[in-house]
Amino acid sequence: MSVLVTGGAGYIGSHMVLALTDRGEDVVVLDNLSTGFSWAVAPQAEMVVGDVGEQTLVERLIRERGVNAIVHFAGSIVVPESIADPLGYYLNNTVKSRALIAAAVNGGVEHFIFSSTAAVYGMPEVNPVDEEAPFDPISPYGSSKMMTEIMLRDTAAAHDLRYAALRYFNVAGADPKRRSGQSTPRATHLIKVAAQAALGDRSHLDIYGTDYPTPDGTCIRDYIHVTDLIAAHVLALDHLRGGGDSLVANCGYGDGFSVKEVVAAVKAASGVDFEVRIAERRAGDPAALIAGAEQIREKLGWTPEHASLDEIVTSALAWEEHLRSSDRVA
């Protein structure tokens, strides 16, 4: 029996592959390498270069490799990009997910874990926002993920497939053993951008908007260490394998930090007072997104071990330094 990890060469997927291979599981990675790197895939895993939308390929992999669980990370993840290219996002995140889910059903795969997002909530009226809040995405990215959640819900009702949709808040940090980390070229995510500014790879950091209705005027997010996020996936997989019901769960700590607080943390951890400029608001940004994080603790027994902004930014900085000192792309 093996686990198929789509997007296993990407940032979060590669950490899942490490966690699975570290505990001796057979893993097949399917990744089209559009944003991932084959070096990020644990050597114990089998790497297949291909697209999750290729249903025939996925059905063959399921059959030939005895795949019984799919962990689906492959997709596009940049909110402003989704506003500029909605159809690209609906293709990558929704249409291709449909093909993958169909392949899972046809191949008799029983367990499916899906990378969803807090963006399905849009601008929640209440923070922390829990899983009972309605879908109300404000970007094509959020809508594209919401639609996949709905497909999974309906498919699980009709077929012998149980799933976990994990709604990520803001993921950052890297593998403590420096085997993988956030490596995307032209990254747009705040902690990566700040780490690059601290190391001199960028001239400055722009803060997108200081007039939000938050205490310091900048957006608030719930940052979660990738190691804790992956621990939640492993627990979800064990839960499904143990006969547990399908579940939808937020993945965050329930603590929010503003953009200015994150910038201050990166400056403190690096000791570098890099230049910060105030810029216009960025399209599609909700003012605050903080996870109501009870469900994942109650249903999966998840206990975060790295819930500290300082630890997260220190880890991100260490990975950024590692990328610079190796010949890997940053």
Cβ proximity to ligand UDP: between 47 and 205 the closer is 205
Cβ proximity to ligand UDP: between 205 and 296 the closer is 205
Minimum distance, C-beta of residue 62 to ligand UDP, in the bound complex (Å): 31
* R_g of the chain computed on alpha carbons: 19
Cβ proximity to ligand UDP: between 29 and 287 the closer is 287
CB-neighbour burial class of residue 121 (10 A; exposed 0-12, middle 13-18, buried 19+): buried
| 98 Ramachandran zone, left/alpha/beta (phi>0; psi -120 to 50) | alpha
- Measured between its terminal Cα atoms, the distance across the chain in Å is 35
Task: List the strands of the sheet with 220-221, edge to edge.
Answer: 257-258, 220-221, 288-289
Which residue type occupies 320? E
Question: How many Cβ atoms are within 10 Å of 112's Cβ, its own excluded?
Answer: 25
Minimum distance, C-beta of residue 166 to ligand UDP, in the bound complex (Å): 15
Minimum distance, C-beta of residue 212 to ligand UDP, in the bound complex (Å): 8
Nearest to 29 by CA among 64, 73, 77: 73
Q: How far apart are CA 49 and CA 51, in angstroms?
A: 7
Cβ proximity to ligand UDP: between 18 and 207 the closer is 207
Minimum distance, C-beta of residue 52 to ligand UDP, in the bound complex (Å): 21
Catalytic residues: 141
Q: How far apart are CA 105 and CA 190, in angstroms?
A: 38
Residues 129/291, Cβ–Cβ less than 8 Å: yes
Cβ proximity to ligand UDP: between 49 and 126 the closer is 126
CB-neighbour burial class of residue 56 (10 A; exposed 0-12, middle 13-18, buried 19+): exposed
CA triplet 47, 52, 58: central angle to 5 degrees?
75
Q: Which residues contact 150 (CB under 8 A, 6 or more apart)?
A: none
Minimum distance, C-beta of residue 320 to ligand UDP, in the bound complex (Å): 14
Cβ proximity to ligand UDP: between 13 and 53 the closer is 13
The footprint of ligand UDP (CB under 6 A) covers 79, 170, 188-190, 193, 205-208, 219, 221, 259, 282, 285
Minimum distance, C-beta of residue 207 to ligand UDP, in the bound complex (Å): 4
Residues in the chain: 330
For residue 311, give both structure tokens.
Answer: 């630890």
Cβ proximity to ligand UDP: between 78 and 99 the closer is 78
For residue 93, give both structure tokens.
Answer: 């995140």
Minimum distance, C-beta of residue 248 to ligand UDP, in the bound complex (Å): 19
